[in-house]
Structure 1
Amino acid sequence: MKYNEISHFSHPQHKLTFEYTEVPFKCDGCKEVGIGSRYKCSNNNTCDYDLHIHCALPSPSLSHPFYTKCSFQFLPRPPGTTPRYCNACEKDITGFLYHCKACGFDLHPCCAKLPMVLNDGEVKLYLYRKVSTSCHRCGRKERNWSYRSNCKKYNLHVGCVKEMLVEYWHEIYFRGGGSGGIGGNERKLETRIPSLRGTLQTPHNRNRGKGKRCGQMAALAVQFVISAVLGDPTTLIAGVVGSLMSM
C-alpha cells in the first residue's frame, strides 16, 4: 500500500512525500540507486532525502522462496562489525537490509523484493538463484541471482546490472579531470543508463532478420531487469530506461 505522505524513523525532522521520477536517485536508506517511485523529503528547499518504496514502507519481516528455512528481519543498519554483503547481488550492504539471524544471510530491500517474474506480454523473465547458462554481461555461470528469459536465450546477473550502473556513474562523476567536479553538460549525462550495445551477444546475430529481432528482445529484457534492480519494475519505467539507454 502506498501513501501520499509518511513519517519515517530515519528522517524524523520532515515528512516524506510520494512521487514518481524518471531521473535516477540514490536512496538514503539502503544507499543503492533507484528510479521511478520514491518518497522524497517534502522540504525540498533545504533537504535532499530520498527512499525507495521498499525502504520507506518495509515489511518488519519476510520470507523468500530461495531460502525457505530463513526468516528475514528488517534492520536499519548491518548487525555487528563485520562487513556484510547481499546474497542476491553479492554487493556490499551499507544501509537498510533484511537479515536472517539464524543463517546470517542478508538482502538489500530492493533485492529482497525483486519480482519472481517480469512479464510485459512480449518478454517473460524468471528470477533464479543460480543458472547454468552464461550471463550476457560477464560470461560466467552460477554467480548470483539472475533473470533468465523463458526461451533461455537471455540471462543477466542481478549483480552485473548493478556493476554496470555503478561503473558508468562513477566514470561520469570523475570525468571532470583537474576541475575537481563535473560541468553542466556532464552533469546531465549523470542520469543516463549505460548502453549495453556489444554486451548482449547471441548466436542468432549471424542472421540479419532474426538477429535484429533477437537484439530487440534482448534490449527489452535488459530494460526490465535494470528497472527491477533499480526498485521499480513497471512498464513505464522500463520504457524510460530504454530511452535513457539509447542516449
Structure 2
Amino acid sequence: MKFLDNQHFSHQHILNAFKLDIGKKIDCNACENPITEPFHGCYSCNYYIHDQCLNIPRSLQHASHPAHPLTLLPNPTYSSKSFSCNACGSQGSAFSFSCAHCEYDLHIHCAKLPAKILIDKHPHELNLLFVSPYKDQNVAFVCDECHGIANRDNWVYYCAHCDFGMHSNCTTGNVTGKDAASSSQSGHEHLMDSVTRQVEDIQAFNEAQERLAAATLEAKMNARGRKAILDMIDDSGYRRNHYYY
C-alpha cells in the first residue's frame, strides 16, 4: 500500500522524495527516529517522514486494548501536545495509535512489539505482558536489565518459569537470532503485513461476492428462459392438450 499522489493525511502540502545530504541529521516527524532513505518531505515546513511511516495503517486493533480500535494520529490531541505511551511509559509528541474514548496511546514502534522474544541474557522465551506480573500482589516489578521499577500498567517481557523480566524498551539490542531479525526490521513492516492480510481478505471477499452475484444472475436468466419456454407452450395449446391425461 502506498500513499497516493504524494499527499499524506499528516501534512497539508505535497510531500516529495528527497535524498539525505551527507552529514545532515533530521528526525522523522512520525516515529521521531533519525531519518534514513527512502523518505519524503516538505522542505518549506521542514517536515520529513520515512516512506515506511507514510504507509502505516490509519487504524489498528491491538491485543492490549481489545475494547476499541486504535486510530493513528499525526499529533497528540492533548493540551500538553504530548502523550504518555501506555506501553513503555515514556512521552511522545509525534505519531501515535490512540483511543480517544479511553485516553489510551501507543508509540507506533511500541504497537509493533512481538509477542515473544529471545534475548542473549536468558535461555527461555520472554512473553510480552501488558501489565506487571506482580500487579495483583502489591509488589514492585524490578527490571532485570536496568534494575529500575516498572509501572504496574506498562508492558514487560517476562519468563514466569524463572521470574525474569525486563521493561519492553530495555530489550533493545538484546534480542538474538530469528527474533533479532524480526525485531530489528522496521516495526512498520509488521503493521504492513497485517494491512496486506486485511487487503487480501477484502479482495477475496469481493471476489466471492462477484462469483455469487454472477451465479445468482445466471440462475435468474435460466429461470426466465424456462418460464418463457413454458409460456410459449401454453400459448400454442400443446401443454394444455397434451401434457395432462
SS of the counterpart of 1:107? strand
Q: Distance in 1 between matches of 2:54 and 2:60?
A: 15
Distance 2:158 2:2 in 1: 29
Per-residue Cα deviation, 1:116-161 (whole angstroms, up to 9, x for no partner): 23469x9744321134364222324543212335865753212446
Find the aligned partners of 1:52 and 1:14 in 2 and give their Cα distance. 11
Kindly indicate whether the alpha-carbon contact (under 8 Å) linking 2:118 and 2:176 is maintained by their aligned counterparts in 1: no
Indicate the RMSD between aligned Cα atoms, in angstroms. 4.6
- Report the Cα distance in structure 2 between the residues aligned to 1:232 and 1:98, rounded to whole angstroms: 12
Instruction: Supply the AA of the counterpart residue of 1:15.
Output: N
Is the 2:84–2:105 Cα contact (8 Å) retained in structure 1? yes
* Identity over aligned pairs, percent: 25
The aligned counterpart of 2:61 is 63
- Cα separation, partners in 2 of 1:14 and 1:104, compared to 1, 3 Å: closer
Distance 1:33 1:136, change over 3 A: farther
Query: Amino acid of the residue matched to residue 167 of structure 2?
Result: H
Q: Distance in 2 between matches of 1:99 and 1:43?
A: 25
Structure 1 residue 219: Cα displacement: 6.2
Aligned partners of 1:116, 1:75: CA distance in 2, in Å?
A: 24
Equivalents in 2 of 1:2, 1:127: separation in Å?
A: 30
Q: 1:227 aligns with which of 171, 184, 190?
A: 184
Counterpart Cα distance in 1 of 2:126 and 2:26: 25
Name the CA shift for 1:136/1:224 in 2 (closer, same or farther; >3 Å): farther
Give 3-state SS (helix, strand or coil) of 1:106's partner.
Answer: strand
Structure 1 unmatched ranges of 5 or more: 18-23, 163-195, 197-217, 235-247
Are residues 34 and 146 of structure 1, via their aligned partners in 2, closer, same or farther at CA, if it must alter by over 3 Å? farther
Residue 126 (structure 1) aligned with residue 127 (structure 2): yes
What amino acid does structure 2 have at the position aligned with 1:139? H
Q: Residue 33 of structure 2 corresponds to which residue in structure 1? A: 33
Q: Does 1:145 align with 2:101?
A: no
- What is the Cα deviation at residue 225 of structure 1? 9.3
Q: Distance in 1 between matches of 2:163 and 2:150?
A: 15
How far the C-alpha of 1:58 sits from its partner, in A, is: 2.3
**SS in structure 2 opposite 1:69?**
coil
Write out aligned runs for 1:13-32 (5 A).
13-16=14-17, 26-30=27-31, 32=32
Q: How do 1:27-106 and structure 2 match up within 5 A? A: 27-30=28-31, 32-33=32-33, 39-41=38-40, 49-51=48-50, 53=52, 55-82=53-80, 83-106=82-105
| Unaligned ranges ≥5, structure 2 | 19-24, 134-140, 191-245
Work out the CA distance in 2 between the residues paired with 1:104 and 1:141: 23
Number of matched pairs: 170
Residues 166-207 of structure 1 show CA distances to partners (whole Å, capped at 9, x for unaligned) of: xxxxxxxxxxxxxxxxxxxxxxxxxxxxxx8xxxxxxxxxxx
Are 1:115 and 1:127, in contact at CA under 8 Å, matched by a contact in 2? Answer: yes
2:30 aligned partner, one-letter code: G
CA distance in 1 between partners of 2:68 and 2:84 (Å)? 17
Alignment deviations for residues 90-136 of structure 1 (CA, whole Å, 9 cap, x no partner): 1112011111111111111111122223469x974432113436422
Match for residue 136 of structure 1 among 144, 159, 183: 144
Residue in 1 that maps onto 2:219 = none
1-side partners of 2:35 and 2:167: how far apart?
19
On the 8 A contact 2:41/2:49 being kept in 1, the answer is no
Whole-angstrom distance in 2 between the partners of 1:127 and 1:224: 17
Cα distance in structure 1, aligned partners of 2:51 and 2:40: 12
Once the two structures are superposed, the pairs formed by residues 163-182 of structure 1 within 5 Å of their partners are: none
Distance verdict in 2 for CA 1:50–1:73, change over 3 Å = closer
